[in-house]
Structure 1
């Protein structure tokens, strides 16, 4: 508060006292007549003669002075009361504003960190969300319902675990993928919001926002036009859209995402659920890693961690001892690389009650150069340089080694594969236009 505001009542009070006119008082001498007046003059003259240094004593009218003081006090009290009320009003309004701002900041922070997700849904504002790259939006359920045509079966574009993924058309310029789950997977839901709200990488799918509606949980991602790698390899097309170089580029994209998680995140992150269904492909077949519901900090071996993962991609040490490291992701990456090479699923059903893993089936043939070409996916057989094929097979063999210490770091895997991918697809291999066009057909 400025000092002149505090001193204002005092100044007014002083001015009032000194500026007030003296009331007109009748002269004593004028009220006396005749002999009385003369005797008084005579007495005064004698008094002056006897005491020449004595001055006249002023007459103080206490009743009028008290009235002026009372009026001044009333005025000052009124001013002080008005100032107090004004300052109280300003303080109350400022307190309300700060409280609202603090609540909004807290909600944004919780959405960004995924620590405690509120159930309050607000209308989606795409332009506002796009300006805040580090945060995610909270979608209104009615908006998701309208965009998916009440979650119509016709809008189902895939399945992630037990959760369905829907295409959501918000307008003619904006589409997204909506993954629907329930409250039974609350921990995975919050974990995914937590990680994906902080992670930004070209090969990791972007989380646009989330919605909580009753027992349902919804995650909204950027739309990936070509679905999952699993759908491309094992769906109706049986890998016909993926030539040799595109498959290698997909492997490089996934390796880049894992290198970011293992080497550049602080603390390092283990995805824990690498598989072909969690590798999403955009309209140009660029690959992005998705589904971080099981992701944890690298090196965690807490007994309370639920054993999770997908059969066929889980490394032996995780099954036997529950040990999780970045080498667990490397093993799963090796299985995905085998899928790209062979076109086969990670687990194949042999008899009514028997299954065989891709690793078990492929390992004896991967190390035999004479047999290697015969196990390739027919869609890519005889379309690559055999030296490149042997190199990719060697990388796959190292990644799926039973002993974690024998597996390479994902950075070494990435540097081994980049030279095999054409420059036009983000690698370092230089091809003539004719050769590149031939391999693209």
Structure 2
């Protein structure tokens, strides 16, 4: 029984702290997300996934009760007001990258049916007392049976993390999560937001600027000054893995199991196989406006070109 709710934190009768998530019940979408989240994660347990402990429905109140994580979300630690109590040095950031990758690999390849999260971003990665990352917020997740290649669905997620083929055509595969994870890695390494459009002294998204630095051989300019001590070889490998994850052609992106392997082992990456990233950007910064795909190619071998497409429905979170 939940006896106290305060600032998204609750205390059970046995004194256990829990995280409390209240969902809007004013719209059908809120109800659907509530039911979807329960159905998706009710029996899922993994060290890098937030555990659902229970739920409550009373009147218009719909509440999910999760395990409590002491260090809040990654975006607050990484992109929010800097706190001397939370120092994300390179060892912690690399562990967060690997842990998040393992959680996604579990969802994509070990669970039956598989799960595509659809909203991988810094605010949905929670950090426990030891800074172990835990993927949360499964309200947009989709079950993904083994025998299908993709799901055609309404577009939902967060601008800046959306894979271009999903953002433009509503074509969802596991590789959409891989793309979002690649963008997340660049945020973790750089300490910069993927949605801000001023990097490199020009109007460029973080991913665009990273690719420019890669072409110029200046990737170290991407690094957050608060990384502390780090292995230059390891950091550069992580950035290149992020670029492999964000290639425009979904079929060229690695699986999450391959990503875990590339991050956790000192292996050589065949950069001859690396192609430019797909960039999705909304013009004007408002959902429903004309989005553009910069540096996009029809396939991995054609010349890059700029295109403009129309999206009829966007659900930013």
Task: Please tell me the TM-score bracket, short chain as reference.
Answer: 0.7 to 0.9
TM-score by length of 1: 0.55
Aligned to 1:261, the other structure's residue is in SS state helix
Q: In structure 2, the residue corresponding to 1:310 is in which secondary structure?
A: coil
Cα distance change on mapping 1:172 and 1:403 into 2, 3 Å: same
Within 5 Å, which residues of 2 pair with 1:361-440?
361-369=209-217, 371-380=218-227, 383-419=229-265
Q: Report which of the two structures shows the higher radius of gyration computed on alpha carbons.
A: 1
Residue 366 of structure 1 contacts residue 393 of structure 1 at CA under 8 Å; is this kept in 2? Answer: no
Q: TM-score scaled to structure 2, two decimals? A: 0.76
Secondary structure at 1:212 match in 2: strand
- Residues 117 and 140 of structure 2 are in contact (CA less than 8 Å); yes or no, is this contact kept in structure 1? yes
Higher strand share: 2
Q: Which runs of 5+ in 1 are unaligned?
A: 1-123, 125-142, 156-165, 421-441
Q: Which residue of 2 aligns with 1:182?
A: 24
Q: Which structure exhibits the higher relative contact order, with contacts defined as CA atoms closer than 8 Å and separated by 6 or more residues?
A: 2
Residue 335 of structure 1: aligned partner? 183
Alignment of 1:232-247 (within 5 A): 232-237=77-82, 241-247=87-93
Task: Give the Cα separation in 2 of the matches to 1:249 and 1:366.
Answer: 23
Counterpart check, 1:204 vs 2:61: no
Question: Aligned-pair RMSD on alpha carbons?
Answer: 2.2
Contact kept in structure 2, 1:203 and 1:254, CA below 8 Å: yes
Which position in structure 2 is the counterpart of 1:25?
A: none
Give, in whole Å, the separation in 2 of the partners of 1:349 and 1:399.
21
- Which structure carries more helix by proportion? 1
Equivalence for 2:304: none
| 1:299-341: CA deviation from partner (whole Å, max 9, x where unpaired) | 57555x3310100000000112111111111000001100111
Deviations 1:238-274 (A, max 9, x none): 7951110110111111111111111111122111111
How many pairs were matched up? 257
- Does 1:263 find its partner at 2:109? yes
Counterparts of 1:350 and 1:306 in 2: how far apart (Å)? Answer: 29
Whole-angstrom CA distance in 1 between matches of 2:178 and 2:136:
16
Tell me, yes or no, if structure 1 residue 254 matches structure 2 residue 100. Answer: yes
Structure 1 counterpart SS, 2:196: strand
Unaligned 5+ residue runs, structure 2? 267-317
The 1-side partners of 2:215 and 2:21 are apart by 40
* Paired position in structure 2 for 1:223: 68
